[in-house]
Amino acid sequence: FGGWGIYKDGIIFAIIIDGELYFKVDEMNRPDFEELGSHPFVYKQGEQNSTMSYWLLPAEVQEDREILVVFVEKSVAAARRKKTTKLMKKK
């Protein structure tokens, strides 16, 4: 995908693209990112824009270790929920 994936316990929860750090987001942790004025990663796919479920990690989170740990855990949980949902759909 042209970037790097960051994993915890075998689950990708963050990506780095064009020098920017994005964390996995779902309906449970999206408000945390919205509250800080973040936005999702959007890329061009043909003629259309595609939005991924990864949102830019705000600078204030990156600079505060305690808050960063909370965001990591919430994003790992979001990635687990997504993985679980995919597995359930396959069955």
Say if residue 42 is exposed, middle or buried (CB neighbours under 10 Å; 0-12, 13-18, 19+). Answer: exposed
Say if residue 58 is exposed, middle or buried (CB neighbours under 10 Å; 0-12, 13-18, 19+). Answer: buried
State if pTM tops 0.85: yes
User: Mind listing the pLDDT tens digit for each residue in 27-78?
Assistant: 999 999 999 999 999 998 888 999 999 999 999 999 999 999 999 999 999 9
